[in-house]
Amino acid sequence: MGAVVVGLDMGSVSTKAAVLQDSRMVGYAILPTGFNPQDSGRRAINEACEKAGINPKDVVYIVATGYGRINAPFANSRVTEITCHGKGAFFANNCARTVIDVGGQDSKVISINEQGRVVDFQMNDRCAAGTGRFLEVMMKTLDMNYEEMSQAAINSENPSKISNMCTVFAESEVITLLAKGERRENIAAGLCQSIAERIATMVKRIGLREEVVMTGGVAKNRGVVKLLENKLNTKISVPEEPQIIGALGAALEAREAILEIKQK
């Protein structure tokens, strides 16, 4: 059996684990982070190993990344999420040159070169505007699920104008629009438009380089992806499971660490 390594992406909303064996991802898990990040990290590793048919005791190296990586004392090392998302996206699609990651509490745009190395990035981690948490609050306010919001963004011919992207103020604005009789579908489309505009601005700051890959939970919203494609005038590729790309990149870092140890 080849060396088994794990990448752990500890986000503020969800914790993801990816298991690599012989350069293949053999299992992964996505769990809510909850109030105990350390426990969530251990449970994510155990669940990912169980899915892979591997005993967690056989894991030889763990790399933690993400917002809560300091809460993983059991990890062998820690790597920034910028590096891990770039590496994971390149592994999933070696044509990737621009990586857009929109997670639970932050968003980032990463430019990578032909070797998959990060050459530039833009990050918004000061507020939850345009992130997964932002969408969750708005869906609850609109009494819509993810698929309904996605369809509204694609099909609405008259998106509402949303002037605020701060979660608190935007929620108040949405409530006001509903009180005025604005259709939920148009409000949802307007919110997705605002998110796409915000992300597109970040992309343009570092310069668009094709191919573009989108990762993170918001990449599952086909409406946001479609609107962003229109604004950037390019096709956007979404991995089969966009939430685990950071964990995959961390696992790749773990694999490299093992190879370096063997060479010494």
- Indicate whether 207 and 110 sit together in one domain: yes
Averaged pLDDT for residues 118-147: 86
Q: Give tens-digit pLDDT for 135-154.
A: 889 999 999 998 999 999 89
Whether residues 131 and 163 fall in one domain: yes
Q: Name the residue among 149, 212, 214, 216 with its Cα closest to residue 185.
A: 149
Query: 16-35, pLDDT tens digit by residue?
Result: 999 999 889 999 999 999 99
pLDDT per residue as tens digits for the range 212-232: 999 999 999 999 999 999 999
Say whether both 185 and 137 belong to one domain.
Answer: yes
- What is the CATH number for 72? 3.30.420.40
User: 147 and 82 in one domain?
Assistant: no
pLDDT tier at 41, thresholds 50, 70, 90: very high
Domain that residue 73 falls in: 1-93+241-264
Nearest to 167 by CA among 137, 201, 195: 137
**Could you tell me if 113 and 65 lie in one domain?**
no
- Cut 0.85: pTM above it: yes
Strands 107-112 vs 59-65: parallel, antiparallel or unpaired = unpaired
Q: In what order do the strands lie in the sheet with 4-10?
A: 24-32, 14-21, 4-10, 59-65, 77-78
Q: Are residues 27 and 82 in the same domain?
A: yes
236 phi and psi, to 5 degrees?
Answer: -115, 125
